[in-house]
Structure 1
């Protein structure tokens, strides 16, 4: 009797598609859509989906491992294709392009105070500890500014531009350098975001505080319009103007509008290879998973960056230590 040969398994046959197969397939499709949304410049719910890109990226890697372990070969191939973009972006995010510290570096810190509820003593203590030179405060109320001054802000950062306003409307810049208010720009529900010239011993730089509307479905057109307005403003500045944009952008690098704005600038968290930097939400049942707070620069080398935790606000503070150029990167290492 001739010996029967084992038949190769047909991975497409219907009986191979068990309940786990279908569950993993559906999950893979959903994750794939979440990953692809990163390249879709649209409004409505799309920015909210894009905000979860890091979660989709991690999920893509988990699904790849799961389908490979269960030997679903075609699903594994599809999962590999879905995982490649977040894996490549993740690897790029840990590549460092920093410069060495110098004696006159500029430390910029941005913090959203959440309706002025942040702990004022902790804010001032963080400014002292980090030796902050310029501080950008979003959602700064008159009561919060009074509390900050009571805890010694004037002794740390005596110069001010911008104004405290009730609720979410106030944005204040404090610095240990003289600052000159050039303009107060409207941004959706925020009537006057300060645009200032900061005069340091090493030279002057332009600082644009940032606070855009959140990309919520009912106001997401205002959010996209605010990012476009910032992009136009940046493009109109002289190319050699040293520049810092710092604040709550309500946007991440997973959103095309933010990437367009950051094009040609140095994103400090990318320059330091910080990887998955997370500044929101803080103090909620959901752990921080997205970076909404940024420092973008031109004419500076990035030395270091990091986050700080202050009670009373749902944002982590984000700081960057910057070194004035024309110090070349080769000379600064």
Structure 2
């Protein structure tokens, strides 16, 4: 009996070791969804190692500890707050929130904008009806009078509202989506931050929730990475990325940029799903920036959306 349990633990340890290596796999199938659950890997490896040690299943202990080491090699560089150069320029505060098909509580959003003194609000899954409801019921447009223009319907819509003067560089509406009308809107704007031009893009790549959706997910992230590499000057990319640090495609996109939560020691704070019975297990909402010092950052909960909002106070270099 004991030997059978030992063999079972050895199998579990091998599975944990294989799972620990998915950090580096850029594959299709279930891999991207498994990567989103990467936080489970070290916990599972530790549990297997502990149980195997109690039963003196030495080989299982060794394999589980190797799995733990491999996951640590992947995670520790991200867990460690990234160093930053100090800045002394003007500041702005950005909030990115997925409003879950326009169902998020508009009064709560307006309260957060006022309390946090939000300068730029990036709303994903926000169609024009939601923006109108937010504006009409809360008076938020007195705080954020500038906008990125008409949002696409349903979950494809993305809106940028700003306290700062703003020029729309690309609305990314139906005219830009003739080849694929299901593609989420990702508007590009130029902010005037105390006389300094800053490019901001609200982003919402498609999700990798099924194998059929994976090519579009990869294409969206790759296109954002290319655009980011071609864009000069101070830059902010904010929204629901449907990806995070365990995904190689996200790491390529974020290379050379500061992730506000990571910089402030919150790289593994999960943002989704925030309102279901299961606890949030992955961080897919981000505020990325270059040309700024991240002064502070955090998350906010809004009723009737399954995402936490991510806010960041940024100081221009």
Give the TM-score taking structure 2 as reference length: 0.91
Of the structure 1 ranges 59-68 and 258-267, higher mean CA displacement relative to structure 2 is found in 59-68
Give the CA RMSD over aligned residues: 2.0
Superposed structure 1 runs of 4+ greater than 6 Å apart:
99-103
2:297 counterpart residue number: 305
- TM-superposed CA distance for 1:74, in Å, is 1.8
Q: What corresponds to 1:221 in structure 2? A: 215
Kept in 2, the 8 Å contact 1:202–1:324? The answer is no
Change (3 A) 1:282 1:109: same
Q: Which residue in 2 is equivalent to 1:63?
A: 48
Q: Structure 1, residues 185-219: CA drift from partner, whole Å, max 9, x if none?
A: 46862353201101111512110110010002221
1:78 positional shift = 1.1
Give the aligned partner of residue 7 of structure 2. Answer: 22
- Over 3 Å counting, the alpha-carbon distance change for 1:18 and 1:110 in structure 2 is same
* Structure 2 gaps, min length 5: none
Judge which range, 274-283 or 29-38, deviates more.
29-38
Instruction: Determine if contact 2:21/2:70 at 8 Å carries over to the other structure.
Output: no
Give 2:276's aligned residue: 284
Deviation (angstroms), 1:98: 5.5
Which aligned pairs between 1:72-151 and structure 2 lie closer than 5 A? 72-96=57-81, 97=83, 104-149=90-135, 150-151=137-138
2:230 matches 1:236: yes
Structure 1 regions of 5+ residues with no counterpart? 1-14, 326-333
- Structure 1 residue 44: deviation in Å? 2.2
Q: Which protein shows a greater Rg?
A: 1
CA distance, structure 1, for counterparts of residue 65 and residue 149 of structure 2: 49
Matching residue within 152, 156, 162 for 1:169: 156
Which of 235, 256, 263 is the aligned partner of 2:255?
A: 263
| Partner SS, residue 306 of structure 2 | coil
Structure 2 equivalent of residue 12 of structure 1? none
Tell me by how many angstroms 1:143 deviates: 2.5
Q: After TM superposition, give the deviation of residue 65 of structure 1 in Å.
A: 2.5
**Structure 1 residue 100: deviation in Å?**
7.3
Task: Provide the aligned length of Structure 1 versus Structure 2.
Answer: 308
**For 2:200 and 2:316, how far apart are their aligned partners in 1?**
14
Shift of 1:89: 4.2
Is the 8 Å Cα contact of residues 162 and 171 (structure 1) preserved in structure 2? Answer: no
In the other structure, the counterpart of 1:41 is 26
Q: 1:101 to 1:283 in 2, by over 3 A?
A: farther
Distance 1:291 1:147 in 2: 28
CA contact (8 A) 1:100 1:303 kept: no
